[in-house]
Homo-oligomer: A and B are copies of this chain.
């Protein structure tokens, strides 16, 4: 990506993640707050799933942030599903997903109930998103980088209809609520991305020295233990609650059954869990996502 000409700042992809919903409301009323920081960029402020925002739920019919794979956007007939229709609509307006997309960069704001601070999720190793995220991870406290590489055509995330994307995932915040400290920090992180995008366009960011960053790279998701009916039969172990980004060693306690027994982590090597005990992931059969940790120069 040579220059970032078109960009989207978005929130409300999930209707009960209120940091993004409220920031988008603020910026829609006063777009200059964003535009003045990147006046060379054609910027849209987008509330991604207004139907879900209206009912303060993650989604109405289907998770919108799992609706942007190629086959969903192109193959499927228009359906009764609110989110699949909305995905096709967004893809027409801001895509189409692929080389001819109208949008260079999407920054999509999300919340998690897990203790993840501000987590910058990169869907691939893109020159701009790596450099800018490395700057931000060094400038702010409690900001982490999560690399979740996926094949772009099959990836179902909203951000993938643009040439590049960053998901800004902020917690811990219960869905349907707002935490002032997280609202204000997210706002500053997004402003900084806008400034850095403008610096990138001017060739300035490329001249800065690379920064050392800790990178958490997606490894494997772990589901809850379940009984023969598919119901969970254990909870996140108390030691793991709120311990996102901390090392989980082989034989560390992983789950606690309803009868008080510990289930250990049976593995040959350590992992670093994220999204521990996120409510929205119970239905996705994810108790936590595990990552591998590395230090890199970005």
The CA-CA distance from A236 to B18 in the complex, in Å, is 13
The CA-CA distance from A241 to B173 in the complex, in Å, is 11
Interface residue A181 (Cβ < 8 Å from any Cβ of B) = yes
Residues in chain B near residue A277, CB distance under 8 A? 174, 177-179
Given known A-B contacts A181-B238, A237-B180, A241-B180, A258 and B174 have beta carbons under 8 A apart: no
Is B235 a contact partner of A279 (Cβ separation < 8 A)? no
| Interchain CB contact (< 8 A) of A180 among B56, B235, B280, B282 | B235
Residues in chain B near residue A282, CB distance under 8 A? 56, 176-177
Interface residue A260 (Cβ < 8 Å from any Cβ of B) = yes
Total interface residues on A, CB under 8 Å, equals 29
Residues in chain B near residue A280, CB distance under 8 A? 176
Interface residue A104 (Cβ < 8 Å from any Cβ of B) = no
Interface residue A62 (Cβ < 8 Å from any Cβ of B) = no
Residues in chain B near residue A258, CB distance under 8 A? 22, 26, 183
Is A113 a contact partner of B177 (Cβ separation < 8 A)? yes
Is A279 a contact partner of B183 (Cβ separation < 8 A)? no
| Interchain CB contact (< 8 A) of A179 among B22, B180, B232, B235 | B235
Minimum C-beta distance from A238 to chain B (A): 5
In the complex, what residue of chain B is closest to A240 when comparing beta carbons?
B180
Is B180 a contact partner of A238 (Cβ separation < 8 A)? yes
Q: Can you add 6 more A-B contacts, CB < 8 Å, to A113-B174, A175-B175, A178-B235?
A: A56-B282, A175-B279, A176-B280, A176-B282, A178-B277, A181-B241
